Each structure stands twice: as C-alpha cells, then as structure tokens.
Chain A
Amino acid sequence: MKRKLCLMAAITLSLTGAIKAQGIMGGHVTGNVQLDAQMSREDTVIGAENVPEKLLMNARADILYTNGDFSAGLRFEMYQNPLLGFDAQYKGQGVANYFVAYNGKQLSVTAGNFYEQFGSGMILRTYEDRYLGLDNSLLGLNVHFRPFEGVTLKALAGKQRIYWNYGAGLVRGVDGEVNLNSLISSIADSKLRLTLGAGFVSKYEEDENIPSPDNPEFRLNLPLNVGAGAVRMDVSYGHWSLQAEYARKGQDPSIMNNYIYRPGEALMINTTWSQRGFSANLQAKHVDNMSFKSVRSQSGEMLYINYIPAITKQHTYAFLSMYPYATQVTGENGLQADVMYKFQKGTLLGGKYGTDIHINSAVITALDTIRTGGVGTEGYTAKWFALGELYYGDVSVEVAKKLSKSVKLTTTYAYQVFNPVVEGHAPDLYHNHVVVADLSWKVNKKHSLRFEAEWMGSDSYYNAKDEHHTDRRAGDWIMGLVEWNIGSHFFVSASDQYAYNDGIGNYYNLSVGYTQGATRLQLGYGKQREGLLCIGGVCRQVPASNGLTFSLTTSF
C-alpha cells in the first residue's frame, strides 16, 4: 500500500515539475498551495501562552491531474508544529489525501480519499475545512451512476480520516435522487420543478466493553451496525421554493449522547420566496440525538459522518461573530427568518442609488426533555418542537446605502441572546447589543479606503476569580478599523478591539498584504482574542495569541 502511494506521489509530483505545463501527456495539472505561519509570545493579560517552538506552521499543497475523464490528485500537508488552536495530533507531514477518479457520462468512480454529501448532509457529509482543522474524508470507493437523465445513484464505502490515521468504523452508504422534470418528458418545461431523494448510511464498528454504571458485571449491548436514513424533496414553482428533509438514525449509544439507546431524528424545512428586489426565507429545524460518528468513543468534532446544517446567520463583522452559535447535534429546535428588500433608486428611501435592507432573526432552543435514565437506557423523552431552554437568539437589521458614486455606507444593529451552555459552560444568558458602521470610499482609480466602527454592549462580565466568568469575550467593547487598498496589489490595515468595561484586553492588529495574480502574501502583527471560530455551526477553539502571522496562498 505504501509503495503504491509512493509511486503515485512520485508520478504526480514529477508531473508537476513543470507547474504551468498544461498538456502533459495530454492532461492538465492544476493546484494550489497555502502556508500559514505564526509566532506568539506569552501575554498574561489576554491569556496567550508562550510557544516553545517560536514558529508554528500549517502548510498544504493540492495537486490535481486531469486528462479527459480521468483525474488523480493528492494533498500534501505539513503541521510543524500545528498553529495554536489546531489539535497537536496533526503534528507531522506527509501525503494526507490521494485519489484516482474516472468521471464518465453515466458512471463516475473515485478510489482513494473522497468527499461526498447526501442531501443536506444530515445522514452523510464528508468535507474538509482547513480553518477548522477538520477533514473527515472517506478513504474507500465512491461510485455515482446515472442510468437515465435526471436519476443519480450513489454508493460508497470507506473509513474516515482522523488526523494522520483512519477511524476504526466502516461507513457504507447509498443514495438516490430523481429529478422528475428530467425523467418525465411531459413535465420537462413545467413551472413546477420537483426533485425527490433518499439515502441510507450504515456504519459498522467492532464491539467494545462499556461497563454498565449500575452493575459492573454488566456491559452495554452495543449495536455494531448503526443505520441512518433520510428522505428529501426539493420543489419550486415560479418565485417560490421549498426544500425539506427528514432523517432518522437507529440506536447509536456513543460518548456524544452519554451512551443512550434513543433513536435519533431530524427535520429540516427551508422555504424561499425570491423576486427582483425582494426575497424572504424561512427555515425550521428539529434535531434530536443526531450525533452520528464512525467511532462511538470519539468526542469533539472529528469523525462525524453527518452534518446538521446551521440556520443562524453567518456573521462576518467581529463583534457580531464574537458569540457564534455552535450546532447542538444532540438536540435543538431552530427557526430563522431572513428578509431582503431593495428600495429602488428614485424612491423616498431609495434615494439616488437605492437602499438595501436586510433583516434576519433566528432563535434556537433546547429540546423539552424528560429524563428517563442515563447510560444504557433510552435516556429521555421529548416532544416534537416543544421548546426547552433558550440556546441562542438574534435579530439583526442591516442597511446598505450608496451615498455617492464613491462612498457606500453599511450600518448594522443586532441584538443577541447567547447561552454559554452550548459551549459546554454553565447555563446563563448574555444579552448583547451590537452596532456596526462600515464605510467604503473609493478615493480614486488606484486608492480606496474602508472604515469600520463597532460597538458591543453586553451584560456579561469578566472575573478571574469566578470560574463561571472567565470568558475573555465578556463585557463592553469598541473597535475601529482602517483599511487602505493601493491599486490592485497592496493593502494595509490597522484595527483595535478594546474591552472598555467589565471585560479584559486590548487587541490591536496591523497587517499588510500583496497580491499578484493568484498569489497573495499577508503579514500581520497583533493580538488574537481567545474564542470560538465557527463555520456552518461547526466550531474550533481559538486560543489567545500575541505575535506575528504570515500567510501565503497561490494557485496554478
């Protein structure tokens, strides 16, 4: 196996010897490289710890060779040593991911590492996110078969990547999707568009000895094969569309659910009305015991087979994303409404250039459960959509208006209620008000400036002597940012976040960047506040740091 891998790596690397040499053996080589480096020193005020290695580095290179229907690729990764916040088990370097694939008209086959998703991912989604330090790719075989126009069948089997190894659990899955408009010629041009799908995933894992807490002579009778199935539909008619998926999982006692035998289920509904200048979206979800991992004893974010989509808005401004919501796969109810409207130019509110208004609100609660037991029992009972304690709620109003040909102002107000229990802390409720003003000014053809001012008022507070109030995000904050873009190549930015009341820390940052074609270099110096980085409801703890950062990205 290792010899084959080395041979494949050698072939692929030799092909990339002439990086831009498209047309090698009739094929095409593409790729990208990313390097992130970090230096940090001890800072007791913000909680940054000394880095003994002085320099930490994450690097990767993706190389893809394509020749007609055939493709092959690999990814080299290096963590020497991993950046702060990345698991130390990543330490090392090597070929982390490799595959060969055939992609024909009716049949596609991938052997090696692959990423796949069934429906919205509630029963299977393998993906990687370099910023979260997450890669749950499957090493195995993935087959897509398209017997008729509008019909896609998928079948796969493999083991999931965990750091530099593969989890012991074996994952098998099948999925079918039918687009009725493509399949039935009489409705091919109908305004009503309908796609139906269904999937099933099963994982096999060897038995292990988990003692019963009530009687040490007894152990849990673990299901070795755990199945999860889902049905879904995607329907649209004119401006309206609806996506719905229901998933159900068999008994899956694991460390994530405290080894209970209650089956899992989840429902996700998403409906949208969209027309020129206006769109409205409503999402609802119910998740009950849907942690589905290929290794039952694996805690944390690794080895998830499935993915529960987040329905809270993915905020980008610093204070709006200071308390991100982490999806609770063990149970939650959620509702989100999102409305966008454009006041046309020439109207009272639209003015000379028009005005965009975006209102978003989400509320996530726990399930309303009645505990029936602990390890080795059904665990609890819960009613559908009966609401438990509040996990998260927010409402944000964003108004974007072009003030002149060269100046655009975006202002945002948001109110958030955050329960730290979703991050594993004691239950509480923090109430935050956030105001953001973001002004872009295109000074001339070569220069542009961006100014950002943010304020957050919160009833949370920091107290080093109280273990429930040591969160350094706490308190009231202000922030300013100036960004200067010089031509299309350079940029310089400076920012400062300061906790001026009941909080701790002054987090300044300076950065400069240079972009040439597909290559981008960035050098930064400053302080990073500890907190959570969440992407799509999946989060990584980011520790505090104080020092230099450097990044390089390029593609070819």
Chain B
Amino acid sequence: MKKIFYYLMGIIGTISLACCDKINPEEYTIYDGAVIKWEKTNTTITPVQRVYVEKYTGPKCNNCPLADATLNNIHNENVVVVSINHPTGQGTPFPDQPDMRTDGGNAWDNYFGINAIPSAFINRDQSKLYQGSMDNIVSDIDQALSMTPIVALDVAANATLNNDYVFVNIDLMFAKAYNRPVTMTVALIEDSLYYKQLLPDNSVDENYVHNHMLRKVITGFWGRDVEATGTAGECVLGELEFSPSDDVKLQNCHIVAFVSDKSSRKVLNVASCKIE
C-alpha cells in the first residue's frame, strides 16, 4: 500500500509541474504565418516575366461571372490569377454555403480600398485597378507580360503522404539590381470549388465552378522579407512549410508565390505550381 501511495504522490508531483504553460510577455503575440528560411545559392533561373492578377469577387455578385469569363479566356501560363472573396455585402456566402472569405483576403481588400466587385488588379498597381468593367484588362496584361523582369522566380511544392504538411521551395534570382527591400508572399489557392453563384440574369447557379480561390495566405498577409542584397545575379532559396486545413482538397490546390516591393507593395514577379 505504501508503494501505491508513493507512486501516487509521484504522479501528483509530475502532473503539477508539467501541466502548465508559461508564456513570456514578449511572446504573447506571435507572427501568424509560415517563416521562410533563406539561404544563398548558385542556382540560376531563366528570367520570365509573369503577371499577377488579383481578382475580388463574391457569390452574390451577379457581374462577377462576367469577370471570371474574361480572365478565364486568357490562356497564358504566365498569367496567375488569384480570386479573393470580398468580406462584406455581395461577398458574403449564401445560407448553408461555404464561406470563402479569408483573414488575408479581407486585409488586402481593406488595404486596397476595394469598394465594388468585381474588381481586378494587375501586379497590385493602383493605376491598373479595374472595378466593374474588365474592358482593356487583357491588353494591360499583355503589356505587363512584355516588361523585362527584375527578378526571376520558380516555386515547387510537395506534400507529405498524409497531406499533414506541405513543403515549399522558392528559387529567386535578381535579374537586375534592385536596391529596395522586397518581400515574398506565398498563398494557397484552390480550384474546382462548387457552390452557389449569382449569375448576370440574377438566377443562381447551384454548382458554379469557382477557380483560383484564395484559401490562405501562408506567409502572413504582407509576406516575409527576402534576405538578399538585391544585386544583379544574386540567387537565394527560400524554404517554408505549413499545415493545410482539413477543408481544402490539396489535389485541387496550387501554390502562388509573388515578390513585391516592400514599400509600394507592387508585385515584381509571380510563380505558381501544383502541389506534388
């Protein structure tokens, strides 16, 4: 009996010491995004200028399918579209429908002052913001594609067997010298999402196919600093990992990584890949 008593006292003592977490004041809040580990490499990349199109949409927006059609007709692998659900009004979901709004998308929407949908942005250039009509967006995209790239970018992603983790590798090379700080933003995008959408004739398509939907900004809303000096020819490799939530189908997802000017937030280049 004494043995049992001592064992119990031991268990009590162990539980008392182990079952309490202490957080230091400087760690009360933590960065809510994946951290990118940067290292210098010698991997050179062929510079290709791609275009990042940020589209703001919503399931109760009857003109949004028109914008989808315009952008879907651009069959160019160098155009990377990301659809963001507007946080209020026409962006709110129909009852019992999935809510595609995200914290990151809401933050971007608020920052860029999106007050009407559909809206679309080319490379986050305020002069290339289309609200309502998408006329001329195709020619502006073509013009952006013709620019000489400042940075070259490649991205690859692999998931673990049980899809618990996704590992992302980003190769970045400065094709030209760039002496301003740049950031890297990585996002998870999902295609083939079927849920209700209001159509231009005000009918509702119960199974509208939503593509390029932003599901999560992995790195934090405004990205992580790229640890590089910005000299021409400099190459760096960024590695990060994240745990996808259960409500995404990884086989329908891809990773979008884009480099931005830290100050102006204009996108310099973008890359996209499927998750292997």
Contact = CB atoms under 8 A, between A and B. Distances in A.
A251 B29 contact: no
Interface string A102-115: 00001000000000
Interface of A: 106, 145, 147-148, 153, 155, 172, 174, 176, 200, 202, 204, 209, 211-212, 214-221, 223-227, 229, 250-251, 261, 376-378
A537 B107 CA distance: 43
Contact of A225 (B8, B11, B21): B21
B39 to A, nearest CB: 24
A215 B222 CA distance: 12
B107 A147 contact: no
Nearest to A175: B12
Contacts of A155: 8, 11-12
A103 B20 CA distance: 31
Nearest to A249: B20
A219 B32 contact: yes
B16 A174 contact: yes
**B4, B19, B222 — most chain A CB neighbours (10 Å):** B19
A229 to B, nearest CB: 7
A224 B21 contact: yes
Interface string B78-120: 0000000000000000000000000100010000000000000
A219 B30 contact: yes
A261 B25 contact: yes
Interface string B21-59: 111010111111100000000000000000000000000
17 contacts: A147-B1, A155-B8, A172-B15, A172-B19, A174-B12, A176-B12, A202-B19, A202-B20, A204-B19, A214-B29, A217-B221, A220-B28, A227-B19, A251-B21, A251-B23, A261-B23, A376-B28
B180 to A, nearest CB: 21
Interface string B196-231: 000000000000000000000000111000000000
Contacts of A176: 12
Nearest to B28: A376
Interface of B: 1-2, 4-5, 8, 11-12, 15-16, 18-23, 25, 27-33, 103, 107, 220-222
Nearest to A204: B19
A211 B103 contact: yes
Contacts of A376: 28-29
A204 B15 CA distance: 12
A223 B23 contact: yes
A225 B19 CA distance: 6
A209 B32 contact: yes
B30 A221 contact: yes
Contacts of B31: 217-218
Nearest to A222: B23
Contacts of B222: 217
Contacts of A211: 32, 103
B16 A217 contact: no
Contacts of A209: 32, 103
**B5, B20, B28, B222 — most chain A CB neighbours (10 Å):** B28
A250 B20 CA distance: 7
A225 B20 contact: yes
A226 B15 contact: no
Contacts of B5: 145, 147-148, 153
B183 to A, nearest CB: 12
A212 B103 CA distance: 12
Nearest to A174: B12
Contacts of B103: 209, 211, 216
B16 A221 contact: no
A146 to B, nearest CB: 10
B20 A227 contact: yes
Contacts of A251: 21-23
